[in-house]
C-alpha cells in the first residue's frame, strides 16, 4: 500500500537490541526492525524511524546509527540502505545534563555521517509531500507478491559511526 501511494514507512524501536529483554519476553525488536526495514527497502519504500524508549546512552545511539545505515557510510555516494529520516522521541531533562548532552550532539553529527552543517534544504533529498495518486502500474498480484515473507538484508554487526569510538 505504501509503495502504491508513494508513502514512507515510519518504524519504531530502533534503539532496541534483542538482548535487551529476557528470553521469557519472547521479544526480538532488533530482528523485527531488520525484517520490516528490509522488506520496505526491497519494495522501494522510503523508511524513517524513531526510538521507542528514552535514549541517552552510547548503546542506544549506536544501535540507532546501525539501523539508519545497516551497511555503514558509503564514501562514494549515498548508502544503498539508509533511512530517510529519524524522529527523536522522549526528549527529557536527562538528555540535557552535561555528559548526556555532549553525547547527544555526537549522535546527531554521526546521523549526518560527520558532515558539516549545510543550511541549503535543497541538498537534503526531497521534500515531504502528501500522498500522491496511486501508482497505477501496481496490480493486486504485485501487492500480494510483496506481502510474501522474505529474508532480511545483511546488517553489519555494529555501526561504523559509533558515538563512543
87-120 confidence digits (pLDDT tens): 899 888 888 888 899 899 888 888 877 666 666 6
In a domain, 155, yes or no: no
Instruction: Report the half-sphere exposure of 56 (CA within 13 A, side-chain side).
Output: 14
Q: For 111-156, what is each residue's pLDDT tens digit?
A: 877 666 666 666 655 555 665 666 566 677 776 777 777 777 788 8
Q: What pLDDT score was predicted for residue 101?
A: 92
**Number of separate domains in the chain:** 1
Q: Coil, helix or strand for 47?
A: strand
Q: What DSSP state is assigned to residue 85?
A: E
> What share of the chain has pLDDT > 90, as a percent?
2
In a domain, 108, yes or no: yes
Comparison of pLDDT for 163 and 47, the residue scoring more: 47
Q: Which domain holds residue 122?
A: 8-146
Confidence bin at 49 (pLDDT 50/70/90): very high
In a domain, 104, yes or no: yes
Confidence bin at 55 (pLDDT 50/70/90): confident
Q: What pLDDT score was predicted for residue 119?
A: 66
User: How many whole angstroms separate alpha carbon 119 and alpha carbon 123?
Assistant: 9
| Segment 10-39 mean pLDDT | 85
DSSP-derived secondary structure for 151-165: PPPPPPSS-SS-TT-
Confirm if 80 and 74 have CB atoms less than 8 A apart: yes
Q: What pLDDT score was predicted for residue 126?
A: 56
153-163 in b/e burial notation, b at 16+ Cβ within 10 A? bebeeebebeb
| Segment 78-93 mean pLDDT | 83
Q: What pLDDT score was predicted for residue 125?
A: 57
Instruction: Report the half-sphere exposure of 118 (CA within 13 A, side-chain side).
Output: 11
In a domain, 97, yes or no: yes
Amino acid at each position: 500500500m505504501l509503495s502504491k501511494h508513494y508513502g514512507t514507512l515510519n518504524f519504531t524501536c530502533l534503539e532496541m537490541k534483542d538482548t535487551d529483554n529476557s528470553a521469557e519476553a519472547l521479544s526480538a525488536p532488533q530482528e523485527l526492525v531488520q525484517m520490516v526495514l528490509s522488506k520496505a527497502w526491497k519494495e522501494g519504500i522510503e523508511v524513517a524511524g524513531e526510538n521507542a524508549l528514552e535514549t541517552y546512552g552510547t548503546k542506544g545511539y549506536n544501535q540507532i546509527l546501525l539501523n539508519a545505515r545497516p551497511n555503514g557510510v558509503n564514501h562514494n555516494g549515498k548508502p544503498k540502505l539508509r533511512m530517510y529520516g529519524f524522529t527523536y522521541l522522549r526528549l527529557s531533562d536527562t538528555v540535557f545534563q552535561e555528559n548526556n548532552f555532549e553525547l547527544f550532539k555526537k549522535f546527531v553529527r554521526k546521523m549526518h555521517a560527520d558532515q558539516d552543517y549545510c543550511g541549503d534544504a535543497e541538498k537534503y533529498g526531497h521534500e515531504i509531500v502528501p500522498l500522491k495518486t496511486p501508482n497505477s502500474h501496481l496490480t493486486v498480484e504485485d501487492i500480494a507478491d510483496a506481502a510474501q515473507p522474505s529474508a532480511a538484508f545483511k546488517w553489519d554487526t555494529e555501526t561504523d559511526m559509533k558515538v563512543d569510538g
